[in-house]
């Protein structure tokens, strides 16, 4: 994929995700961005892995999911996969809203 400068999320999409009108700017190649991140799934009662930078985390039932930038070796019980483009976009938006207190 070629470099992507801006992704605009529509109002309809934003409403569905709980995110209002917004724009995300990516600096660099999309494939490289996706390779730098991992979607991790692990037990809800486990602390965050001691690897990489957690972009956003959420718990649901007995599991937690987090997007991590530059992950390393995972502890037992954690699963890792390369995210699709939607995951980093929405997780960075959610993290920004949480930091802003929205």
Average pLDDT over residues 90-99: 83
* pLDDT attached to residue 93: 84
Report yes or no: 46 and 63 within 8 Å, Cβ to Cβ: no
Each residue of 26-35: pLDDT tens digit?
677 888 888 8
Report yes or no: 80 and 40 within 8 Å, Cβ to Cβ: yes
Neighbours of 78 (CB within 10 A): 19
- Vertex 62 angle, CA 59 and 66, to 5°: 35
Banded pLDDT at 6 (limits 50, 70, 90): very low
Predicted structure pTM score: 0.69
Segment (H or E) for 28: none
Which of 11, 63, 7, 20 is closest to 39 using CA atoms? Answer: 63
Token representation of residue 18: 């709980």
* pLDDT attached to residue 71: 74
Q: What phi, psi does 35 have (nearest 5°)?
A: -65, -25
- Dist CA 43 CA 22 (whole Å): 32
């Amino acid at each position: 994929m070629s470099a992507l400068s801006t992704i605009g999320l529509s109002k309809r999409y934003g409403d569905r995700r709980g995110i209002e009108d917004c724009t995300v700017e990516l600096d660099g190649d999309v494939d490289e961005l996706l390779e730098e991140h991992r979607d991790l799934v692990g037990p809800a009662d486990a602390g965050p892995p001691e690897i990489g930078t957690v972009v956003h985390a959420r718990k649901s039932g007995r599991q937690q999911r987090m997007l991590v930038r530059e992950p390393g070796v995972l502890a037992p019980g954690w699963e890792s996969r390369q995210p699709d483009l939607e995951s980093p976009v929405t997780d960075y938006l959610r993290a920004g809203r949480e930091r802003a207190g929205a």
